[in-house]
C-alpha cells in the first residue's frame, strides 16, 4: 500500500493524519515548523498545534514536499490564504488532491478548488469539509464529513480510502457547495461569538444561525452551490457546531470582539488560525460582486476592521427594514 500525503502540520492536518494512520496506512506529513517535524518524528506528538494526543508511529513528518507528492492521494491542509503558494512548490503529478482548508482566496474571490485546479491542472481535485473539531477527530470520536469531487466514482473511491470506523465521509459532486459552507460558517461563527461575548442571549444566537444560514444559501446559490449541500454536513452541520462552542477559534474570536476587545489585539501573537477573520472581507467583496445581500457578514467585517463598535453594529442589524423570511 502506498502512503498518503498530508500537507500542513497544524491541528487539522495532524488530526487527519492520525485518522488515516489508524487504518494501518503510512502517512507522510509536510509541516512548516522544524519543531513540529522534530516533535512528531521523535516523540509522536504535535505539541505546538495538537497537544496531548499520542500520534501513530505510522505518521512521519518532513519539510520535503517532493516526498509527500509520492502519496496515493495528498490532503492539502494549509490555511486557505497560503494554499496557492504551497501548491506552487509541489511538483505536478496525477494523484488526487483533497482540499481540507476553509476559505475564499483574497484578491481573486476564487474558491480553493479553482485555485488548486489552476496550480495542478493534471490532478483530480476533491474537497473534504464538515463539522469536525480536530481534537475530537484525533481522539477517535464519531465524526461525519462531506467529500466532494466532480466525478462521483472518484469521490466514492477517495471516501473509501480515508473512511475509518469513527470517521464517515458522505460523498457529493458539489465542490462549490462543500467549500462555500465551510468558508461562510467561519464568518458566522465570529458573529455568534459576538452575541455570546456581548451577552445578547440565546434567542439572538438562534436568530443569527438561521438568518446566517439564509445568507450562506443566497451567496452559495449565486456561486453555483446546490442548496442541499448547504443544508448538509459541510454547511448547516458545520455552522451549528462552530456557532455553539468555544472550541471554535472563530467563535472565541467573536466572544472577544463582543466583549469590546479589538481584532488587532485578539489576532496578534497567535499561531493558530481563525479563518473567518481572513474570509470576512473577501466574502463581503465577493457578495457585492455577485449582488448578494449579506448584512451579518458585513457586520462582522466592520467589527474586525474596527470601523464600528458592537452596539452600533447590533443596532444597524436590528433597524433593518422588516421583510419576508423567504425571498422569492
Ligand atoms: N482545526 C480544526 O478543527 C479544523 C480546521 N480546518 C481548516 O484547516 C485549515 C488549517 O487549520 P489548522 O490545521 O486548524 O491550523 P492551526 O491553527 O492548527 O495551525 C496553523 C497552521 O498554519 C500554518 N501556516 C502558518 N503560516 C503559514 C504559511 N505562510 N504558509 C503555509 N502554512 C502556514 C502553520 O504551519 C500551521 O500548520 C484551516 O483552513 C481551517 O479552517 C478544517 C476543519 C477543522
Ligand atoms: O472548522 C472547524 C470545525 O469544523 C474548526 O472551527 P474553528 O476554525 O472555528 O476552530
110 is in an annotated binding site: no
Query: For residue 131, which atom of ligand 2 is closest to its CA?
Result: 4
226 is in an annotated binding site: no
146 contact partners, CB below 8 Å, separation of at least 6: 127, 128, 129, 130, 169, 170, 171, 172, 178, 229, 232, 233, 234
Closest-approaching ligand to the CA atom of 50? 1
Query: For residue 36, which atom of ligand 1 is closest to its CA?
Result: 35
Same domain, 33 and 135: yes
**Residues classed as catalytic:** 185
Q: Give the per-residue pLDDT at 269.
A: 81
β-strands 97-99, 4-7 pairing:
unpaired
Same domain, 145 and 189: no
Same domain, 87 and 167: yes
Q: Is the CB of 59 under 6 A from ligand 1?
A: no
pLDDT digits (tens, 9 = 90+) for 8-19: 999 999 999 999
Query: For residue 85, which atom of ligand 1 is closest to its CA?
Result: 30
Q: How far is the CA of 77 from the centre of ligand 1 (A)?
A: 6
Q: Give, using CA atoms, the residue closest to atom 17 of ligand 1.
A: 272
By residue range, what is the domain housing residue 213? 182-318
Same domain, 98 and 56: yes
Query: For residue 14, which atom of ligand 1 is closest to its CA?
Result: 13
- Is 325 within the bounds of a domain? no
pLDDT digits (tens, 9 = 90+) for 136-162: 999 999 999 999 999 999 999 999 999
> SS3 breakdown of the chain: % helix, strand, coil, rounded to 5?
50, 10, 35
Ligand 2 surroundings by CB, under 6 angstroms: 102, 131-133, 186, 189, 238, 241-242, 248-250, 275
- Is 37 within the bounds of a domain? yes
Same domain, 266 and 195: yes
Q: Give, using CA atoms, the residue closest to atom 8 of ligand 2.
A: 249
CA dihedral of 91, 164, 274, 181, whole degrees rounded to 10:
90
**CB count in 10 Å sphere of residue 2:** 12
Q: How far is the CA of 324 from the centre of ligand 2 (A)?
A: 31
- Is 229 within the bounds of a domain? yes
Q: How far is the CA of 138 from the centre of ligand 1 (A)?
A: 15
Same domain, 138 and 256: no
Segment among 184-193, 245-254, 318-327 with least mean pLDDT? 318-327
pLDDT digits (tens, 9 = 90+) for 116-131: 999 999 999 999 999 9
Q: How far is the CA of 9 from the centre of ligand 1 (A)?
A: 8
Same domain, 150 and 34: yes
CA dihedral of 101, 77, 112, 143, whole degrees rounded to 10:
-50
ipTM value, please give it: 0.99
Closest-approaching ligand to the CA atom of 130? 2
Residue indicated by cell numbers 460523498:
171
C-alpha triplet 56, 58, 61: angle, nearest 5°: 95
Q: Give the per-residue pLDDT at 41.
A: 98
250 is in an annotated binding site: yes
**With contact defined as beta carbons under 8 Å apart, do 146 and 229 qualify?**
yes
Strands (E), the chain: 4-7, 27-30, 59-62, 74-76, 97-99, 125-129, 143-149, 167-172
- Is 323 within the bounds of a domain? no
Same domain, 15 and 132: yes
- Is 132 within the bounds of a domain? yes
* Whole-number Å distance between alpha carbons of 201 and 138: 32
13 is in an annotated binding site: yes
Same domain, 11 and 144: yes
Tell me which of 173, 197, 218 is where a domain ends: 173
37-66 core/surface letters (b: 16 or more CB in 10 A; e: else)? bebbeeeebbebbbeebebbebbbbbeebe
113 contact partners, CB below 8 Å, separation of at least 6: 99, 125, 127, 175, 176, 179
Task: Supply the CATH number for residue 252's domain.
Answer: 1.10.1040.10
Tell me which of 141, 173, 205 is where a domain ends: 173
pLDDT digits (tens, 9 = 90+) for 57-113: 999 999 999 999 889 999 999 999 999 999 999 999 889 999 999 999 999 999 999
Same domain, 154 and 277: no
Same domain, 200 and 144: no
Look at the chain and report how many structural domains it folds into: 2
- Is 119 within the bounds of a domain? yes
- Is 207 within the bounds of a domain? yes
303 contact partners, CB below 8 Å, separation of at least 6: 190, 194, 257, 263, 310, 313
- Is 324 within the bounds of a domain? no
Tell me which of 142, 173, 204 is where a domain ends: 173
Q: How far is the CA of 247 from the centre of ligand 2 (A)?
A: 8
Task: Supply the CATH number for residue 83's domain.
Answer: 3.40.50.720
Same domain, 24 and 166: yes
248 is in an annotated binding site: yes
Amino acid at each position: 500500500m502506498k502512503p498518503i500525503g498530508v500537507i500542513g502540520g497544524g491541528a487539522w492536518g495532524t488530526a487527519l493524519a492520525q485518522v488515516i494512520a489508524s487504518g494501518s496506512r503510512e502517512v507522510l506529513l509536510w509541516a512548516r515548523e522544524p519543531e513540529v517535524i522534530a516533535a512528531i518524528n521523535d516523540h509522536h506528538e504535535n505539541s505546538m498545534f495538537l497537544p496531548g494526543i499520542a500520534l501513530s508511529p505510522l505518521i512521519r513528518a518532513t519539510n520535503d514536499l517532493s516526498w509527500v507528492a509520492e502519496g496515493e492521494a495528498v490532503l492539502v491542509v494549509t490555511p486557505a490564504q497560503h494554499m496557492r503558494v504551497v501548491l506552487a512548490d509541489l511538483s505536478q503529478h496525477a494523484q488526487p488532491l483533497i482540499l481540507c482548508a476553509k476559505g475564499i482566496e483574497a484578491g481573486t474571490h476564487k474558491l480553493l478548488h479553482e485555485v488548486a485546479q489552476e496550480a495542478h491542472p493534471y490532478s483530480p481535485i476533491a474537497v473534504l469539509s464538515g463539522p469536525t473539531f480536530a481534537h475530537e477527530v484525533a481522539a477517535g470520536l464519531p465524526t461525519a464529513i462531506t467529500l466532494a469531487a466532480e466525478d462521483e466514482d472518484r469521490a466514492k473511491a477517495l471516501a473509501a480510502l480515508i473512511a475509518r470506523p469513527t470517521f464517515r465521509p458522505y460523498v457529493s459532486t458539489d465542490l462549490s457547495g462543500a467549500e462555500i459552507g465551510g468558508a461562510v460558517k467561519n464568518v458566522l461563527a465570529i458573529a455568534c461569538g459576538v452575541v455570546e461575548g456581548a451577552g445578547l442571549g440565546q434567542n439572538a444566537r438562534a436568530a443569527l444561525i438561521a438568518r446566517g444560514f439564509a445568507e450562506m444559501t443566497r451567496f452559495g446559490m449565486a456561486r453555483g452551490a446546490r442548496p442541499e449541500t448547504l443544508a448538509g454536513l459541510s454547511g448547516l452541520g458545520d455552522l451549528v457546531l462552530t456557532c455553539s462552542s468555544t472550541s471554535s477559534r472563530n467563535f472565541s474570536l467573536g466572544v472577544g470582539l463582543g466583549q469590546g476587545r479589538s481584532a488587532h489585539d485578539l489576532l496578534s501573537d497567535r499561531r493558530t488560525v481563525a479563518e473567518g477573520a481572513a474570509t470576512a472581507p473577501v466574502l463581503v467583496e465577493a457578495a457585492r460582486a455577485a449582488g448578494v445581500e449579506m448584512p451579518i457578514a458585513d457586520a462582522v467585517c466592520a467589527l474586525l476592521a474596527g470601523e464600528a463598535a458592537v452596539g452600533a453594529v447590533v443596532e444597524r442589524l436590528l433597524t433593518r427594514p422588516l421583510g419576508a423570511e423567504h425571498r422569492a
